[in-house]
Structure 1
């Protein structure tokens, strides 16, 4: 059963935020545009939190799973925000913009996690602000470098490398299906003024395509239906570089460290496809194994309409459930998952 988003005091929110809207299935042409040419897509499913003040970096460093204290102006970092029990309440992409540290987060959890973080500022010289209304977030994928060269003087040459320009910040994010991907975050008016110049070079496609590309990149995103469900390792955050095991304490740090060093990681996130549509295959849905139909063996983390048929998924699942039998959505007689290969390797668990 899903756990409602918890407040800073640890109590369940009486009025949890509305879930993100279910995006219609993109057309075949939209998938093809990314895979065979290049495309861009506005991403309203994300919000941005700005953290400012003399203590902004040290404050976030003490709250998040990654090293924010030493975050420099040339790189972005994934990070998680955990409850005291080590369960993820949010996932972020963090980067510096001048003296500000920006956090890209799923829009449906933004208000709650921003409020929770703000309550722990206490005497630190740090302030958090929702700047989603002031910024545009654009995803670009495929053969987009030539088009981007008309907007930015230089392009990032590695994953999570960022460059700044007059139109904002450009961050390269992990490839999906061997296609380049970038996030462009900048002042809304400036970005919207430049976007028409891309229309002759790139296709504009649905934000649902970005959700699919994130899944095919194997990069989980914490949204409201799965808040407070997973220790970071369960969604491969240790493999993706979102956890720094040498940094100081943060909420849930003891649980996360214990899972890493005592060999207790018995669940991981895998890539899969299933027949159906997003109106019935949703994040937070439980999974059941054919050999043990009485209890769930995992949960859908993220879901997106797939190129071709069905829905592509990132699923958190018991490692023992992957060896034999079949895994199904919702019940042991529900739609069966077809497992796919992640674009990165996972450590062998003892």
Structure 2
């Protein structure tokens, strides 16, 4: 996977693996994130949907409202199987002629192919535009003042979007008490602005940026966790990823039933594990019922101390009735933290 933007980053000293995960030479952040930081989000893919039937087509496929998506906002959305299980979690936004869908690069091709199967005679077209755009994540106390060089007016609330000749700027949910943004620029512009951004902000790698997503309570479906979760199991409706008033989409009946019939018994929590390797889809076990798993790791990244922070889907009762362990009932203990949003009582 080589593009002019990726080659530019590599020539600038950024290490990039086959999945687009970046890392930088020098000491990793220790204890606290820098006052301002920037990350090339080369691990993300981008699908562009165009055509007069595009909004209606996509509206019938995703968990969120696409037909009323405005150019001044971004929205989370899920793409489900007919059984209501998430194949992908997406961030979507629109410009005048195009709706963009952002998701992990390893999922992009298969999700685009599956969507393409259902276009049929609709006047809509899907294109992989991952290499035409550069996604940059910026955060910390000083990120806003740096961004004002290009965006005099910044989006003020989570998922608000501002467009200028320099691209699109989306405000993301805060993490570690500071604002975060995503800048979607042309690959050519990104090469021009990167030297200034990397001089005024501290470059961080993909895994540190993903750690900020975890602390913002924003889950991401990856290959190991495809078809594992109904949206509510990972709090997707709490962060604006599901619209229960829109029309049908694959799995809609099951998602709606999970919402309205009975109390939800599974949720996603923030947790920390010490002294262990933690990967998405690893099972977790409760000491109160050690014979069967009570949940699964959704996302996990090494934190800025010596442990691993993760988003964990599990039976609510398991977190209340005993200790929860990674891998087996004898595995490392998970300690639970507080998400930045409230869970229903």
Q: TM-score when scaled to structure 1? A: 0.90
SS of residue paired to 1:328? strand
Structure 1 CA distance for aligned equivalents of residues 179 and 270 of structure 2: 19
Residue deviations 1:217-269 (CA, integer Å, cap 9, x gap): 00100111100000000000111110000000000000000000002421000
Residue deviations 1:35-59 (CA, integer Å, cap 9, x gap): 3410101012211110010011111
Per the alignment, residue 233 of structure 2 pairs with 234
How far 1:271 sits from its partner (Å)? 0.1
Q: Could you tell me which of 97, 101, 104 is aligned with 1:103?
A: 101
Q: Could you tell me which of 300, 305, 308 is aligned with 1:303?
A: 300
SS of residue paired to 1:67? coil
Distance 1:224-1:20 versus aligned 2 partners, 3 A rule: farther
Per the alignment, residue 243 of structure 2 pairs with 244
Native 8 Å contact 2:268 2:312 kept in 1: yes
Per the alignment, residue 7 of structure 1 pairs with none
Structure 1 CA distance for aligned equivalents of residues 302 and 247 of structure 2: 39
Q: Could you tell me which of 75, 80, 83 is aligned with 2:81?
A: 83
Structure 2 CA distance for aligned equivalents of residues 31 and 181 of structure 1: 19
- Counterparts of residues 168-317 of structure 1 (less than 5 Å): 168-276=167-275, 280-317=277-314
Per the alignment, residue 162 of structure 1 pairs with 161
Q: Could you tell me which of 325, 347, 350 is aligned with 2:322?
A: 325
Residue deviations 1:69-111 (CA, integer Å, cap 9, x gap): 0000100000000000000000111000221000110111111
Per the alignment, residue 67 of structure 2 pairs with 69
Structure 1 CA distance for aligned equivalents of residues 249 and 262 of structure 2: 21
Per the alignment, residue 50 of structure 1 pairs with 48
How many residue pairs were aligned? 328
Native 8 Å contact 1:167 1:191 kept in 2: no
Native 8 Å contact 2:29 2:304 kept in 1: no
Stretches of structure 2 that go unaligned for 5 or more consecutive residues are 1-16
Aligned: 1:345 with 2:336: no
Distance 1:23-1:326 versus aligned 2 partners, 3 A rule: farther
SS of residue paired to 1:35? coil
SS of residue paired to 2:200? coil
How far 1:19 sits from its partner (Å)? 9.6
Q: TM-score when scaled to structure 2? A: 0.91
Point out the more displaced range, 252-261 or 104-113: 104-113
Native 8 Å contact 1:287 1:327 kept in 2: yes
Structure 1 CA distance for aligned equivalents of residues 303 and 26 of structure 2: 10
Aligned: 1:336 with 2:324: no
The alignment yields a C-alpha RMSD, in angstroms, of: 1.9
Structure 1 CA distance for aligned equivalents of residues 185 and 117 of structure 2: 28
How far 1:206 sits from its partner (Å)? 0.9
SS of residue paired to 1:248? coil
Native 8 Å contact 1:65 1:81 kept in 2: yes
SS of residue paired to 1:220? coil
Residue deviations 1:123-167 (CA, integer Å, cap 9, x gap): 111111111111111100102111101122321111101111222
Structure 1 CA distance for aligned equivalents of residues 20 and 43 of structure 2: 9
Native 8 Å contact 1:19 1:225 kept in 2: no
Structure 1 CA distance for aligned equivalents of residues 109 and 319 of structure 2: 36
SS of residue paired to 1:195? helix
How far 1:20 sits from its partner (Å)? 4.9
Native 8 Å contact 1:285 1:330 kept in 2: yes
Aligned: 1:117 with 2:128: no
Residue deviations 1:5-39 (CA, integer Å, cap 9, x gap): xxxxxxxxxxxxx995887799765356x734101
